[in-house]
Amino acid sequence: MAGSSQRERVELLQVHKNAGTEYPVGHELVVSSSTAARLYRHKIAKPP
């Protein structure tokens, strides 16, 4: 899986549920670069 080892910290702009866990606005997560790009594109998160 190319690029899967790259990780990025993001800050949530809205409540986000992942794998059964709900994270509040302002919570910071460390995710893959591709997931970060998707969250940015959908305005779910921003760089911290």
Residue 19: per-residue pLDDT: 85
Q: Is the pLDDT of residue 2 over 80?
A: no
Residue 4: per-residue pLDDT: 56
Q: Which two tokens stand for residue 39?
A: 């969250």
pTM score of the predicted model: 0.82
Residue 12 bridge partners (DSSP) = 45
Q: Is the pLDDT of residue 3 over 90?
A: no
Q: 1 falls in which pLDDT band (50, 70, 90)? A: very low
5-46: per-residue pLDDT in tens? 799 999 999 999 988 999 999 999 999 999 999 999 999 999
Query: Cα(44)–Cα(28) distance, rounded to whole angstroms?
Result: 12
DSSP conformational letter for 34: H
